[in-house]
Structure 1
Amino acid sequence: MHDLGLTRKVLEKRAREAADFELRDYYGRLQPYYSYPDQLVFVDETSKDGRNALRKYAWSKRNTKAIVELPFARGERVSALAAFTTSGFLAWEYTDGTFDREKFHGAMVKSIIPYLNAWPLPRSILILDNAKIHMYNELQEAVHSKGALLFFLPPYSPQLNPIEHFE
């Protein structure tokens, strides 16, 4: 394979449903405001339960499967909301259960929006995925009150959010 100029790479998964025209539209809307990477703040939430805490790999004797017995119940769910910039994680908030719009808004106002600056300063462009709990007027008003801009990623495009590459 090396003789053919091929190298082994980590496979990037992209949703088949992602539409090229929506990606072009997103870039077209962002481009007039984007000047340098430090302007960008990416936010996303994740949830974990008892089943997620287990490691994916284990040691075992040769020709013997590595097996762990697990409870069938999921256990308690914890959700985290984090903001990520070119410098690393900026802020985070967590909650028991799952973020609904009320919990999401409270976490944004308490822990993330205070770090935003007026455009075109660093941390002045907030980028979220297009989840339904993100799309409401009070969030836009809170972001705009800081002078910052709010953009939503196109549907099925988590590859555009660097925070998605952490597990």
Structure 2
Amino acid sequence: MKQPFVCGHRISLEALLTLYGLVACTVVEGSMMKKLYLEWLEFMVLPKCSAYPGPLSVLMMDNASIHHSAKILELADHFG
């Protein structure tokens, strides 16, 4: 017997993972909005990173639309 697909609550997770474990994480109900993502980067992620080629100096992001922002480049420049 086939069961109908029921869409439940959407949960979004952003995490800063390293070879040594989880450094920063946030979970929101619904979709991650660009404003919240930028705040997470500015206050939770980038302060824990260092300038290239130091440890935690490279961030990898997928092709999500919230990752396409000039503000991300500005923040990266500001934090080194």
Task: Give the TM-score taking structure 2 as reference length.
Answer: 0.81
- Please tell me whether residue 109 in structure 1 is matched to residue 42 in structure 2: yes
Unpaired runs of at least 5, structure 2 = none
Match of 1:140 among 73, 76, 79: 73
> What's the CA shift for 1:72?
4.9
SS at 1:75's partner residue? coil
Task: Give the TM-score taking structure 1 as reference length.
Answer: 0.42
Percent identical pairs in the alignment equals 29
Higher relative contact order at CA 8 Å, sep ≥6: structure 1 or structure 2? Answer: 1
The CA deviation string for residues 48-97 of structure 1, in whole angstroms up to 9 with x for no partner, is xxxxxxxxxxxxxxxxxxxxxx8853232221100111112111011110
- Please tell me whether residue 122 in structure 1 is matched to residue 64 in structure 2: no
Question: Looking at CA atoms only, which structure, 1 or 2, has the larger radius of gyration?
Answer: 1
More helix by share: 2
> How many correspondences in the alignment?
78
d(CA) in 1 for partners of 2:76, 2:26? 17
> What's the CA shift for 1:100?
2.0
User: How much is the aligned-residue C-alpha RMSD, in angstroms?
Assistant: 1.8
Tell me which stretches of 4 or more aligned residues in structure 1 moved more than 3 Å: 70-73
> What's the CA shift for 1:104?
1.4
d(CA) in 1 for partners of 2:28, 2:39? 11
Aligned pairs for 1:7-156 within 5 A: 72-147=5-80
> What's the CA shift for 1:123?
0.7
d(CA) in 2 for partners of 1:132, 1:74? 22
d(CA) in 2 for partners of 1:134, 1:124? 17
